[in-house]
Structure 1
Amino acid sequence: MLCVEESIGVENTAQIPHQRTELPLECAVMYAEERHWDVFPGTWLEAADRTEECSCGEADCPAPGAHPARKDWATEATGSGGAARRLWSKQPRASVLLPTGRTFDVLDVPETAGFLALARMERLRVTLGPVARTPDRRMLFFVLPGGSAKAGSLVRALGWSPASLDLVAHGEGGYVAAPPTRIGRMGAVQWARRPTRANRWLPDAEEMISPLAYACGQEARGA
């Protein structure tokens, strides 16, 4: 079972069957059972006065429908498909959130830099893991755990100042939203390169930092 909003990016998907699955429960179970990722339910969107508001009730919520619903979310996260099914059965509209620093870390860059990096990585034949695309125009590159802790030093070793690049590393204690989570009126998180058997083994951050830093640097120069 594939959890796909839309496949976007530079990969060749001609031989991969497309199945459109939009139910958070099905996606959460798939992530737990097929990828062995921990998952936990977040907030959700509720209809209100011709619009949709975050279930948290905050009018100025910065991530409506896409943030933890509980302070103890880290203890609620589970890698069990059965447990995930029970959690989302309680609230089927809950967003699908993935804790970082466990089975993966995430390198987060602007969308334009992400697409530039993807093209460069394809030319260099860099091994890629899943890559997500968020509706606020960010791209999330999944890497092995520990990537967050060394991202800064890797960037500096390439001659860049981490503060000068819009490259954010998510590691222990963090989380990211996964498809098919919707973030307010902006839209849904999608896979640019969806999880498949071919990218089950994640790359190390060291393999990714150079093209990502270069792409972020190019964007910074053009800003």
Structure 2
Amino acid sequence: MGTLDSAVRYAEERHWDVFPGTWLVRVPGGEQCSCGRPECGSPGAHPVGTGWAGLATGSPAAVRRMWAKEPGASVLLPTGRTFDALDVPEAAGFLALARMDRMRVSLGPVTCTPDRRVVFFVLAGAAAKTEALVRALGWDPGAVDLVVRGKGGYVAAPPTRVGGRGAVQWARRPTPANRWLPDVAELISPLAYACGQEAAVRARRG
């Protein structure tokens, strides 16, 4: 499924706002981001300009019009609206997923990115609560690599490709069963634990 079909599906089935981001263009020797910056840190997977928040829409018709201008545009989802996102290192994310499965924690959609991050979708409002929740569990929020994306942020959605690194994929794809997203408080214990363990491993490696 291409980025247009995916963007329409997210708008129709999940009522998520979406907006088109940059895309990859062929150049001698490979591909580069449509932004034209050879040093782009997220090639083909970031907003085109500063006005992206005003472009985000949940209208399938508007989505089709926007993607008609560039069918290969990446699919970006603004956070802080329908959902926030908890972004953790890949090793911590999969450790947390395993613990959550054993604990029978109800999850929302979860993505894996080519940058080796795992992103958990949770109810909007997580950005205001996560630091206090992590601290209450005995972890230093500054020492664990747990990034919260709330109002003013965004995440890339499948099947967006990030340069030559690969595509964003679903670790837990959207289904009718996970339409109702969990609150950050329901996930924070296994996530903070997994991020703390990952930080300890990094520290031992120097």
TM-score range, shorter chain: over 0.9
Q: 1:161 is paired with a residue of what secondary structure? A: coil
| 1:148 match | 127
CA distance in 2, matches of 1:81, 1:31: 9
Shift of 1:50: 2.2
- Which stretches of structure 1, 4 residues or more, deviate above 6 A after TM superposition? none
- Asked if residue 97 in structure 1 is aligned to residue 76 in structure 2, the reply is yes
SS in structure 1 opposite 2:164? Answer: coil
Name the amino acid aligned to 2:23.
W
Residues 118-137 of structure 1 mapped to structure 2, 5 A cutoff:
118-137=97-116
From 199, 202, 209, the equivalent of 2:181 is 202
Q: TM-score, normalised by structure 1?
A: 0.90
Question: Counterpart of 2:130 in structure 1: which amino acid?
Answer: A
- 1:164 partner SS: coil
Letter in 2 for 1:59: P
1:149: how far off? 1.2
- Percentage of identical aligned residues: 69
Gaps (5+ residues) in structure 2? none
Residues 1:167 and 2:146 aligned together: yes
TM-align CA RMSD = 0.5
CA offset digits 1:117-163 (Å, max 9, x no partner): 00100111111000000001000000000011111010001011100
Q: Hey, what does 1:15 align to over in structure 2?
A: none
In the other structure, the counterpart of 2:51 is: 72
Equivalent position of 1:38 in the other structure: 17
Q: Which residue number corresponds to residue 190 of structure 1?
A: 169
SS in 1 for 2:42: coil
User: Separation in 2 of the partners of 1:44 and 1:170?
Assistant: 22
Hey, what's the Cα distance between the residues in 1 that align with 2:127 and 2:85? 7
- Which secondary structure does the structure 2 equivalent of 1:182 belong to? coil
How far apart in 1 are the matches of 2:132 and 2:60? 37
1:177 to 150, 156, 168: 156
| Cα distance in structure 1, aligned partners of 2:47 and 2:108 | 25
Amino acid at match of 1:42: G
Aligned length: 202
What's the CA shift for 1:89? 1.1
SS, match of residue 142 in structure 2? helix
